[in-house]
Every structure is written in structure tokens, then in C-alpha cells.
Amino acid sequence: MSSTAPFPDAVNTMFGGSWGGGAVAIAALVSMTGCLNGWTLLSAQTPYAAARDGLFPAAFARRRRGVPTVGVAVTVVLASLLTAYNYASGSAKVFEILVLVTTFTATVPYLPAAAAQIFHLVSGRHERVDRARLVRDTVVAAVAAAFSMWLVAGAGYAAVYQGALFLFAGVVVHAVMAARRNRAAA
């Protein structure tokens, strides 16, 4: 049997009637709303921290009632533009593409972090390190790097392409900010 709403159908089958499907739908709506709000606020914290460190425009460091409003606004606008682009391009899987782009962009920092940990462990001073701990930490870092690569590969071409565009836009902003810092220091 093929269903467009398998969880509500399962609840209705297990408990009888049709009340369970409605309850699951309401719980999913509350969960999605909370998750969306949480991710929006969380994604605004990265440019806020970068702006406080002078690596991003100062507007991102301003807060209103404790909330980095410019970061929230930019996050909402970019997510809306990405949604509109995917919807207008005829993609029936808009939500899937957005989840894959998010997975890709969230995974990218983990890969260099895992690689840096492997570099640190392999090039460190081995004579003063507990061998068992060194092996354990190297295995954990290698598994983390492999898992990150698997997630990036699994995101698919469209998600990696769109995610890379967002990441490269950040590189351009960083380059402009670094040039301004160097000019001010000179």
C-alpha cells in the first residue's frame, strides 16, 4: 500500500478511527515550526560571531533585544530565495533539495575539522602520547572524515552546487573584509 501520509495512517491503524492522524499532523506542524525557528536563529549566530571578530560586515554584529536581526533577516531572505528558485525551476522535490543543501553546508565545516584533527594527531609528538589514545582518536577522526565525505557525496549534484554557491559567496565577503582590515591597519 502506498500512502502520502504514512505516519498518520499508521496511528489511525494502530488506535482506530481518524483522530490519530490529526494528532500526528499537529505534532509534526509544531515540531517543524520549532525546528524552523531554531535553525533560523542558530544560522544567524555564525555571521554574528564572525562580525564580532571583524570577519563579516559590522551590521551583522548589531543586536535588537538580544537577537542578531540582520543575520536573521538575511537567513530568511536567502532561504526564501532558494525555495523560490527550486520551486520555479519545476522541482517537485523542493523540500528534499533544501534539506540536502542544508546537510551539505552543515557538513562542510566538519570535514576540514576532522582532517585537521587527523593532521594534528599524525604530526604530533608521539613519544609523549599514550599510544592507545592516539590510535583511538585517529580512528574516530578518520571515521568522522569518511562520514562527512559520505554525507557530501550523498547530498547530490544540485545540493552540492547550490551549497557551494552559498559558501563561495561567503568567501567573497571574507576577502572584502580582510582587505578592509589590511587597509585600515596600514
Q: And the C-alpha cell for 133?
A: 589514545
Is the same domain home to 159 and 123? yes
Query: Mean pLDDT of all residues in the chain?
Result: 80
In which band, very low, low, confident or very high, does the pLDDT at 90 lie, cut at 50, 70 and 90? low
**Residue 185: per-residue pLDDT:** 80
116 located within any domain: yes
**Residue 24: per-residue pLDDT:** 80
Is the same domain home to 172 and 113? yes
Over 60: is that where the pLDDT of 1 sits?
A: no
Residues 46, 50, 56, 57, CA torsion sign: positive
Is the same domain home to 78 and 151? no
**pLDDT one-digit tens code per residue, 158-185:** 888 888 887 888 788 888 888 888 888 8
**Residue 156: per-residue pLDDT:** 83
Specify the residue for cell string 591597519: 185
Is the same domain home to 11 and 85? yes
Number of domains in the chain: 2
Is the same domain home to 128 and 84? no
**pLDDT one-digit tens code per residue, 110-132:** 888 888 888 887 777 666 667 78
**Residue 126: per-residue pLDDT:** 62
Domain membership of residue 20 as a residue range:
6-90
Over 80: is that where the pLDDT of 2 sits?
A: no
Which amino acid is located at 35 in the chain?
C
Is the same domain home to 82 and 136? no
In angstroms, rounded to a whole number, what is the distance separating the alpha carbons of residues 26 and 140? 39
Residue 149: count other Cβ atoms within 10 Å of its Cβ. Answer: 14
**Of 90, 119, 151, which residue constitutes the final position of a domain?**
90
How big, in percent rounded to 5, are the helix, strand and coil portions of the chain?
Answer: 80, 0, 15
Is the same domain home to 37 and 108? no
Q: Does residue 156 sit in helix, strand or coil?
A: coil
Over 60: is that where the pLDDT of 20 sits?
A: yes
**Of 33, 67, 90, which residue constitutes the final position of a domain?**
90
186 located within any domain: yes
**Of 90, 110, 133, which residue constitutes the final position of a domain?**
90
**Residue 125: per-residue pLDDT:** 67
Is the same domain home to 124 and 183? yes
1 located within any domain: no
**pLDDT one-digit tens code per residue, 148-161:** 888 888 888 888 88
**In residues, how long is the chain?**
186
Question: Averaged over 81-96, what is the pLDDT?
Answer: 71
Is the same domain home to 101 and 56? no
Is the same domain home to 102 and 86? no
- Phi-psi sector, 17: left (phi>0), alpha (psi -120 to 50), beta: left
Question: Averaged over 13-28, what is the pLDDT?
Answer: 78
Is the same domain home to 34 and 73? yes
Is the same domain home to 86 and 116? no
